[in-house]
Amino acid sequence: MSRTALSRTTRPRRAVTGRALVLGTLVVLLIVLLASPLNRYFGSRGDLNAANSQLQRDKQQLTDLQKQYQQWSDPGFIQQQARKRLQYAMPGDTVYVVVDRGAKSDIEKTLAHGDDTGSGDAWTTRLWTSVEQAGR
């Protein structure tokens, strides 16, 4: 056997070859270089999806507000809402107030409070008495 043949057979093989080392270095370098742009890309896609969903909600709200505007442009709707919400009555209308048995109507309650103030102390005297009692 020659010396070169003997050295080839006895020399241990390396676990990592030069090609594998270069390839591994390139892979790590690509991962490091592409991590930040990919992160920004996927983040911007999420922001874009959120903006699109916000745009859809805003369009729906705009449509609802336009419908409300059309309703409030109608004088009949305004009159209906005034009767319903503010309890307005048109001239010539007869208004009925239904009160439960044994309960007082708002008018009777108001009249009862009016009689209460005329029977005794003025409101300033009651206020001063209240302040004195709170200070004790």
**AA identity, residue 102:** G
Cα dist from 12 to 5, 8, 39, 108, 136, whole Å? 13, 9, 44, 111, 101
Q: What is the CA radius of gyration of the chain?
A: 44
How large a percentage of the chain has pLDDT more than 70? 83
Among 10-14, 45-49, 69-73, name the one with the lowest average pLDDT. 10-14
The pLDDT confidence band at residue 60, using thresholds 50, 70 and 90, is very high
Is the predicted pLDDT of residue 93 greater than 60, yes or no?
Answer: yes
Mean pLDDT of the chain: 84
Is the predicted pLDDT of residue 27 greater than 70, yes or no?
Answer: yes
Give yes or no for a contact between 77 and 71, defined as CB atoms under 8 angstroms apart.
yes
The mean pLDDT value for 13-33 works out to 87
Q: Give buried/exposed letters for 103-121 (b at 16+ CB in 10 A, else e).
A: eeeeeeeeeeeeeeeeeee
